[in-house]
Structure 1
Amino acid sequence: MQQQMMASGVSLGQIQQQLDTVANNMANVGTNGYKSRDAKFVDLLFQQIDNLNPADQDQTDTANRLTPNGIRSGSGVKVGDTSLDLSAGAIKETGNPLDLALTDAHQFFTVDGGGATAYTRDGAFNTQPDPGNANQLRLLTKSGAAVLDAGGRPMTIPAHYRDIRINQAGQINVTLNNGTTVNAGQLGIVTINRPQLLESSGNNQYALPNLATLGIGLNQVVQPAAGSVTQGSLENSNVDLTKEMADLINLQHNYQLNARSVTIGDQMAGLVNGLLR
């Protein structure tokens, strides 16, 4: 009885984790470039209980049996993996020259993640005056992180520009008020070869773990990309709201079933204790 209640209790905690994952996906259905996550369950250890001696069993009864003899007493389930879905979201046109979308599903913009390189699919960029140079503007994300160029340096563009053009490769050409066109650099765009290593770091950004502890080199995971930039557009979230709602309903039913199992187990234990008095 206690083992059954423990298995259901363990499962309740893990179902709550998947509920949190589904809730996070639904909360970001309107977030630019957001990639949904999907939690997968795996069984914990189970115990094989054989009530009969195999020598005493009727062979005619077990000849066509498809399942093992005895009973398997499980320990519940856990969330084994939370995979990142990199399928591309729909592209929407905005007309803003600083709104950029990547059409290659495995490419990311590089941004400053607080001293380390972070990666994002959200191309809703903006400019702010550079405190160190009045003739330059800093290119920033919506959260204020610096957008990096192909060399890993914060990107700046000339101030008082008339027009800005960003080609498919991420090359930025700025037309000044006097009609002169200058090259302002190239956006840092990379391909992530092992996207499941990416960890959410907030502000719609991803970071990589310490690859040295995994025995993996950075060049095995991150490689410079030619770019697949579409100017004046943004990528929508790839969250399928219909699927998330169906998953939410199923998880609620599973949660209720396991909670009911704990309640029934407690009631049966109470009956047993009453009989022993």
Structure 2
Amino acid sequence: MPDANRSLIVSFHDLHPGSRAACERFLELAEEAGVRHQSLLVVPRWHGGPAFNQDADFVGWLHDLTDAGHDICLHGNTHAADEIRGGPVARLMARFYTNSEGEFYQLTRDEALRKLDDGLELFDRANLSVHGFTAPAWLLSPSGREALRRRGFHYNTLFGRVELLQEDGSIAAPTLVFSCRSAWRRLTSIYWTRFWMRIHSRAPVLRLAVHPCDLDHPSILKSVLCLLHRALEDRRPMTYRDLAPASATSLTPLG
């Protein structure tokens, strides 16, 4: 029986018109398991391609999802790092850990504001509301965090925490996530996520982060669904939006 004091947040990352089919498939599988609402992380201009709002069918689908109670989260702008600055450690982190997708890893405040403003304008044109932000690979510079506060975002997610930006607080929330870039990564992450879930079994908030490529590999998808069913045995599903205060109905830029 789910414990009212423990919750599970399921999020689908890297959502754009090209990953819609994978998302639709996972939404169906998750709903069959008992998760009716997810946080959907939308990338406005996937890898510098056309803006998501140029696809009218995709925008209409997102409206249907928000009407059904799903949470739309801004997930970077292009999900690709323009350049890597710094020494060997920074370059290794950016290329090995993020596959050169740590877009907000080294941004200045002005750079972050430009990217955020572009994404928010696209959402505004699509008449879609967002309340929170997740940087690609959860890598966010201090200047990027300040930019989020200035633009009124209510939450920001990191790998191990969810920050409530306007309340200046945070909630510990470990993440279960898989890596599917190579066979050894897939095998390692299957065992790692089982271990990670075990040691965080008492965490008040647990997160399951799903990526489109997870659905391309039967072993990963099987593990995702296994963890999902196991977590729902004693947790109630919720979204990131549910962590924000009830009064947080829209973004209020701070200047």
Same fold (TM over 0.5): no
- Decide which structure has greater strand share: 1
- Give the TM-score normalised by structure 1: 0.20
Kindly indicate which of the two structures has a greater share of residues assigned to helix: 2
